[in-house]
Amino acid sequence: MTLSLYHEALRPKGVRRLLAVVAAGVMAVSAVLFAPLTAAAADTPWLTVSDDGYVSFSVPAAYVQANAGQVSQVVIEGNFGPSFNWAEYGLTRRGDVWSGVLGPLKPGLYYYQVTGDDTKGLKDPTNSTSVASKPLWSTFFVPGDSVRLLADAPEGQGGKIETLTYGPKDKQRSALVWTPPAYSAKGTKALPALFLRSGDGGSAGDWLDLGRAKQIFDNLSAGNAMEPMVVVIGDGNGQDDDKELKDLRKAAADKYRLLRDPAHQAIAGVAEGGARALRAALTHPGQFAYAGSFSGLLTENAGRPDAKAINREVKLVRLYTGNVTDPAYNATDRLTKALHRAGVRYEFDGVNPDAGANWNAWQENLIDFVPRLFRTVRDHGPSAGHGPLKGEFHPPAPGTTPTPFVQDGFVTFETTTDYKDAQHVTVWANDAPGGSWLRVPMTRDGDRWRATVGPLDPWFYYYKFIVDRVSVKDPSNPTKVTSEPTWSSFFIPGERSRLLSDVPAGQGGKVESLTYQSTVANAERTALVWTPPGYDPNRSEKYPVLYLQHGSGQNYTDWTEMGRAKQILDHLSLDGDLVPMVVVMGNGNSSNFNKELLENIVPAARARYNISSDPSRQALAGLSMGGGQAIGVLKAYPGQFAYVAAFSAGFGSGTGVDVAAINSGTKLFRLYVGDVTDFVYPSVMASLPTMDSLGIHYEFAGVTQGPHGWDVWQKNLIDLAPRLFKR
């Protein structure tokens, strides 16, 4: 089996992966499994996670209707977006189930809810997890070495969580307290304390439900990576923060054996809680010796900072921020400058390139911060992979530039003022893992809606706006997709996307229109034809030819507008990886494709271009429907095309197949498929043993990571084209 850069060998993933595919409703039996809704069906998990990070959702339509009424769409909202930011993943109605498969997701904790028609939220009743401050949310964990500190510690080896009540009797509040293993209130050794704050609107429980704080403390403690301490977790929503914090500290000291001197007191928090933590440490430097701000929104030191007192009393001030999607990014830039001007010593963990203002970032911040407390450490620099602040991030003012605006892999989308009265606007794009599609919520900015997404890897992207559940094209983007009028596109350059970029002017091949009469459609039709650099219409040796077909719902323009076929072929040709050939991209929307191809497209191409009619110099490939058409021609006319390939299409039935003719007349028969997010994955994989049993000679390219979409098919063409006409 030969694999390319973009493919991986098919390897068994256990029963869980197969069940995930079935549960997602990829197979037609899903409709039977969930109708009608019974008690047993209600207990069937709506979410399954495979061993390799693919997440399958199966939401019974009957449950949605019973609890939210009739809806036209169902999405899973969660932290699936780039930088772990909030996004919507649209499910597809298949029979009686709303289903979909997303992934592979990076290891980490994910939280989500089910939402119908933008506003009708539902909690997954089959997931027992909960989030105290968000009643509709559930969570799931994707394990991995990078998040091993977020996993549950072995039974009996962790600390304990208790509730602490404090404040006046008429306004009592509660906090959560983690005590380390073997802690005893009757012990003789007092411990230092960390006061951990949540942000506005959050609860102390968020640090457990979303921040995985208990797991982090348990694992750091078990590995002797932190000093023994008591951690007091508050919600940070007090009207008088100074008094509330004073009450909390007194209550904690009264109940637990704590060291009360400032050298053994630390404070940290997220978002507004981070700003409060910094303010408490910097305005009263005799209270806390350690302060951490995780995406804190403090922009300058309150009042006139007493730098000498702060530097003398406060041992550590450490700042954390996510990337430019974090609202604290600009605030942190301003704060570092203010502290520098004031002469206040501080440390900066660097910009987290992979997360915004969310719990995935704050988990990492906590893991970095806690081991620095109440001990001497040597490393005072940023975390590995974190970068410097590059000044404040400000996209152009609304209405001043075509969108999207791209800067360092971050993309800012903006609507026109036509949707100022809309209620819910998202940008739908192929920016999920492998090129799947997510909807990122946009926010109002005056009379427009905006969203910044990223960082996106170098590649070719396409998108549309969804305004109150109606697809809308970005009129500020001049790009177009003929078969998908609401789509626009943009390109992020880089080594990863080099083969999809334009070659220097005048160095590539040419794309021309070929008009021909279709006797099947009884109409004049058009194909697009790519000729290689230096194409010579009078060359004595005729050029080999590849007939490249599109999929269902598409047309002859898609391989150039979406598949980047010209760019791919240009680069492969200039790199010396391509046998000079002509590529014909015809219209495959036909009631009889075999006749359309052999009697209309092929003769028209031969009449105009200097191409070979020798079967050994002809290739046929296509995606999805076009892949099925290529296999159909192979079965009906074995030997007519010596090279045949199918992208995201299976072989189908072996009935009546002339195996000997296929094997003798075909030099290369190669199959491609996306991963389990590609809805034809089961049928393609099922076709492999069929061909094996028939004795057909074929190659399986392995699984291309990605869905039934252009990210996969572009990679398939990159892999296939250099293999043609070399045997």
**The pLDDT of residue 642:** 98
Write a three-state SS string for 624-665.
Answer: CHHHHHHHHHHHHCCCCCCEEEEECCCCCCCCCCCHHHHHHH
Instruction: Please check whether residues 164 and 236 belong to one and the same domain.
Output: yes
Residue 65's domain comprises 17-143
The amino acid occupying position 429 is A
Q: Shortest CA distance to 700 belongs to which of 718, 714, 719?
A: 719
Residue 254 located in a structural domain: yes
What are the residues whose beta carbons fall under 8 Å from the beta carbon of 624, sequence distance 6 or more?
551, 552, 647, 648, 649, 680, 708
CA 462 to mean position of chain CA atoms: 15
Residue 235 located in a structural domain: yes
Residue 106 located in a structural domain: yes
**The pLDDT of residue 692:** 97
CA–CA dist 409, 661 (Å, integer): 50
* pTM of structure: 0.91
Residue 390 located in a structural domain: no
**φ and ψ of 417, to 5 deg:** -80, 0
CA–CA dist 187, 573 (Å, integer): 76
Structural domain count of the chain = 4
Write out the two tokens for 489: 């596109």
Instruction: Please check whether residues 171 and 204 belong to one and the same domain.
Output: yes
Residue 384 located in a structural domain: no
> Which residues face 451 on adjacent strands?
413
- The DSSP H or E segment spanning 310 is helix 307-313
Instruction: Please check whether residues 272 and 329 belong to one and the same domain.
Output: yes
Q: Domain end: 445, 471, 492, which one?
A: 492
Instruction: Please check whether residues 37 and 75 belong to one and the same domain.
Output: yes
CA–CA dist 571, 493 (Å, integer): 14
Give the SS3 label for residue 582.
strand
Residue 646 located in a structural domain: yes
Residue 565 located in a structural domain: yes
pLDDT averaged per 10 residues in sequence order, the chain, 727 residues: 44 32 32 33 84 96 97 97 97 97 97 97 97 96 97 92 90 93 84 94 93 98 96 77 88 95 96 93 93 92 79 97 97 95 96 96 98 96 96 91 91 96 97 95 96 97 98 96 97 97 96 97 97 97 98 97 98 98 97 98 98 98 98 98 98 96 98 97 97 98 97 98 95
Question: Which DSSP state fits 204?
Answer: T
What size, in residues, is the chain? 727
**The pLDDT of residue 172:** 87
Q: Domain end: 143, 173, 208, which one?
A: 143
Instruction: Please check whether residues 131 and 157 belong to one and the same domain.
Output: no
Instruction: Please check whether residues 96 and 190 belong to one and the same domain.
Output: no
Residue 412 located in a structural domain: yes
Q: Shortest CA distance to 383 belongs to which of 375, 372, 373?
A: 372
As a dihedral over the C-alpha atoms of residue 585, residue 588, residue 589, residue 590, rounded to 10 degrees, the angle is 140
Instruction: Please check whether residues 285 and 423 belong to one and the same domain.
Output: no
CA–CA dist 661, 684 (Å, integer): 22
CATH number at residue 644: 3.40.50.1820
What are the residues whose beta carbons fall under 8 Å from the beta carbon of 459, sequence distance 6 or more?
435, 491, 492, 496, 497, 500, 711
CATH number at residue 478: 2.60.40.10
Instruction: Please check whether residues 540 and 582 belong to one and the same domain.
Output: yes
Instruction: Please check whether residues 288 and 308 belong to one and the same domain.
Output: yes
Instruction: Please check whether residues 103 and 190 belong to one and the same domain.
Output: no
What are the residues whose beta carbons fall under 8 Å from the beta carbon of 128, sequence distance 6 or more?
none
**CA 9, 14, 16: angle at the middle one, nearest 5?**
120
**The pLDDT of residue 33:** 27
Instruction: Please check whether residues 582 and 715 belong to one and the same domain.
Output: yes
Instruction: Please check whether residues 197 and 334 belong to one and the same domain.
Output: yes
**The pLDDT of residue 38:** 38
Q: Domain end: 492, 527, 545, which one?
A: 492
Give the SS3 label for residue 375.
coil
Per-residue model confidence as pLDDT tens digits over 630-652: 999 999 999 999 999 999 999 99
